[in-house]
Amino acid sequence: MTLEKVVNLSDTCSIAGQYMAELRSMDYQQNRALFRNNIERIGMLEAFEISKTLNYEPQFVETPLGVANVNVHTDEIVLATLFRAGLPMHQGFLKVFDHADNAFVSAYRKYKDNSNTDVDIFVEYIATPSLEGKTLIIADPMLATGGSIALGYKALSKYGTPARIHVACVVATWEGIDVVRKELPDGITTIWCGAIDNELNANKYIVPGLGDAGDLCFGGKL
């Protein structure tokens, strides 16, 4: 199976480069509010790009001085996010697609060995509307191994078959992209990312990446 398209915002010079530089910078990472804000900004930029792919129809809107003809999208959108790192990115998407329905998946990684090199992904909670015929956007900042997105979609797919799927992340690896290629439906899935890095370390973190997005957004965990 192959993805219909992979879109890397870093392939084109834009304001996204500044946001990515600040997200990666250890100096900027000291400010959690700024870090969350930049995750949100990447979400908003990707949401705008995704909006160009939707279905539209003309609509006549009455203004104080006349009638305007505008194009309005007709897709029924569901914004899905993986806890907890995905929350700021979800907020960015929600600011753009403010009429969308929402879905939430609690997925977490757990190491199976003391060296923290063998990792499993677990899904323990899901809340979603019907996805049948909808445009599903799944936001998760770090597409590292692809396991979280794959299991998250598997859990969501029990609630209907979407017409279109968009996977949105801040940083991806080709390994993670390959997993999405295998596990998500062929021909209807597009992946959007702020950057694509080439390496995963032994602990399955993206290199150079930006670190643990969840911890940088919300603090450490036990």
What region does 187 belong to: left with phi over 0, alpha with psi -120 to 50, or beta? left
pLDDT score of 85: 83
Give the side-chain half-sphere CA count within 13 A for 134: 21
pLDDT, position 122: 72
What distance in Å separates the CA atoms of residue 21 and residue 17, rounded to the nearest whole number?
6
- Size (the chain), residues: 222
Dihedral of CA 102/179/213/118: which sign?
A: positive
pLDDT of residue 151: 87
Q: What does DSSP say about strands 56-63 and 5-8: parallel, antiparallel, or unpaired? A: unpaired
The predicted structure's pLDDT at residue 106:
85
Dist CA 77 CA 54 (whole Å): 10
Per-residue pLDDT tens, the chain, 222 aa: give them.
445 699 999 999 999 999 999 999 999 999 999 999 999 999 999 999 999 999 999 999 999 999 999 999 999 999 999 888 889 999 999 999 999 999 999 866 565 555 545 556 677 789 999 999 999 999 999 999 998 899 899 989 999 999 999 999 999 999 999 999 999 999 999 999 999 999 999 888 999 999 999 899 988 876
Q: Residue 173 belongs to a domain with what CATH number? A: 3.40.50.2020
Which pLDDT score, from 0 to 100, does residue 121 have? 63
Q: Residue 122 is part of which domain span?
A: 5-218
Its pTM stands at 0.90
Count of structural domains within the chain: 1
